[in-house]
């Protein structure tokens, strides 16, 4: 009743709605912060944060919780629609609301921090991380008057509960079918609802701060710069590579990364280049693919990412590693081999070809090569019909030598 009266007694009759869907990233945190500030400027009665997320980045989650705690107006957190989840990072956000609500058929919890081992399998994070996040969720629960023991179990036991269980245990305050039902229960029926409009800047940051996108941009950036150095003059590969590398470095800076993972990725690219320059029939490429997979799997060090996300990321990594290996084996190697091949056209393409003396050559004469008549010169006497080899070219004259033992 106190929560209802405090919201209903606010100065105006506007509700500002912020959507949190998918992974919680740096872009999500910026969107929530800007949304709360805009809601306050508009004179909204409250902010409603609708949640449907499997988890996300620790720093981004803490920024969102901080924005909610420092909000000058009431913040309602709401897991919706039916079937939505507030797992991992989403539970921290749910518990931080002044009013916490869930739709029927939704779930929350499963906050145990995880990490990915070199084989790509997820396992519980180290004890230090677990203790820190347990204390953090406990402080959020204490501040909101929610059951601390349940909040702790979300982290230590990976507890997940339904909306009905959350209501029974006091984790949330309201179960509401939809937004109008929720507003009716808190005494805000009929208020004007304003939905946050997406900002391009926030969407770009949201995209770049996704570890999968950052990883792909990192590879494209490295490959682009590398190909630019190998094929100077066009400036296209190195320009694209530089842009992608800058975007990747920005994205990598928005979440925790493993330095050893970066080292392995660089080692993988080095092995790919070595394979292209000195083909070893796939030995170096295999080593590069292994380094790339291990390095990528060790790249994100975010304990609030879901196990499902790690599974998806593992597939992306394996796919990128396979594509990179195939490209370097069949693509770059072919280009390098082509460059090393002897020219087959132009003046250089004639050198080394064998033909027949079309007339006596002493020291000059005529040869017929590729259906064309050429003036020929030799330091030795060559009879008509003898086989000769082109050893050089001087203007329109071919320098030839007799092939011993081959004559008509």
CATH T-level topology, domain 2-197? 2-enoyl-CoA Hydratase; Chain A, domain 1 (3.90.226)
How far apart CA 398 and CA 370 sit, in angstroms, is: 13
Distance between CA atoms of residues 306 and 321, nearest Å:
23
Pair 391, 399: CB distance under 8 Å: yes
* Count of CB atoms situated within 10 Å of the CB of 241: 20
| d(C-alpha 126, C-alpha 130), whole Å | 6
- pLDDT at 10 (0 to 100): 43
Assigned CATH for 348-402: 2.40.50.140
Q: In whole angstroms, what is the distance from residue 240 CA to residue 217 CA?
A: 10
| pLDDT tens digits, one per residue of 215-265 | 889 888 888 887 777 666 667 888 888 899 888 888 888 777 777 888 888
What residues contact residue 169 under an 8 Å CB cut-off, 6+ apart?
A: 147, 150, 161
Name the pTM for this structure: 0.72
CA separation, residue 229 to residues 63, 220, 235, 300 (Å): 41, 14, 9, 29
Stretches in the chain below the pLDDT threshold 70: 1-12, 117-120, 230-234, 276, 279-282, 329-349, 405-408
**Residues classed as catalytic:** 88, 128
Q: What is the pLDDT of residues 119-165, one digit of tens each?
A: 657 788 889 999 999 999 999 999 999 999 999 999 999 999 999 99
Domain layout of the chain by residue ranges:
2-197, 210-340, 348-402
Q: What's the confidence (pLDDT) of residue 176?
A: 96
């Amino acid at each position: 009743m106190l929560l209802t009266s405090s919201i209903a007694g606010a100065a105006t009759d506007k509700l500002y709605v912020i959507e949190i869907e998918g992974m919680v990233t740096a872009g999500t945190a910026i969107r929530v912060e800007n949304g709360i500030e805009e809601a306050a400027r508009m004179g909204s009665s409250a902010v409603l944060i609708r949640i449907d997320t499997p988890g996300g980045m620790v720093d981004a989650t803490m920024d969102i919780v901080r924005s909610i705690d420092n909000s000058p107006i009431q913040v309602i957190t709401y897991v919706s629609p039916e079937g939505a989840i507030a797992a991992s990072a989403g539970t921290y956000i749910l518990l931080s609301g002044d009013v916490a609500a869930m739709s029927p058929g939704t779930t929350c919890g499963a906050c145990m921090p995880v990490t990915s081992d070199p084989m790509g399998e997820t396992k519980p994070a180290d004890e230090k991380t677990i203790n820190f996040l347990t204390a953090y969720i406990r402080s959020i629960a204490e501040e909101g008057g929610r059951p601390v023991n349940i909040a702790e179990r979300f982290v230590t036991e990976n507890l997940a509960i339904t909306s009905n269980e959350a209501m029974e245990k006091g984790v949330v305050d309201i179960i509401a079918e939809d937004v109008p039902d929720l507003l009716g229960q808190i005494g805000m029926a009929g208020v004007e609802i304003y939905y946050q409009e997406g900002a391009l800047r926030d969407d770009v940051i949201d995209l770049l701060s996704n570890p999968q996108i950052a990883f792909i941009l990192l590879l494209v950036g490295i490959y682009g710069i590398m190909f630019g150095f190998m094929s100077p003059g066009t400036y296209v590969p190195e320009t694209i590579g530089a842009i992608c590398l800058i975007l990747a470095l920005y994205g990598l800076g928005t979440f925790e990364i493993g330095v050893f993972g970066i080292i392995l990725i660089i080692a993988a690219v080095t092995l790919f280049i070595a394979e292209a320059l000195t083909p070893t029939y796939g030995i170096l490429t295999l080593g590069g693919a292994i380094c790339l997979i291990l390095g990528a799997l060790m790249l994100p060090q975010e304990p609030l990412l879901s196990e499902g996300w790690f599974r998806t990321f593992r597939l992306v990594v394996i796919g990128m590693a396979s594509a990179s290996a195939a490209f370097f084996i069949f693509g770059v190697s072919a280009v390098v081999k082509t460059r090393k091949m002897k020219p087959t056209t132009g003046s250089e393409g004639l050198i080394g070809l064998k033909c027949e003396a079309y007339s006596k050559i002493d020291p000059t004469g005529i040869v017929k090569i590729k259906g064309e008549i050429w003036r020929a010169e030799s330091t030795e006497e060559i009879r008509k019909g003898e086989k000769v080899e082109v050893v050089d070219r001087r203007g329109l004259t071919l320098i030839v030598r007799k092939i011993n033992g081959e004559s008509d």
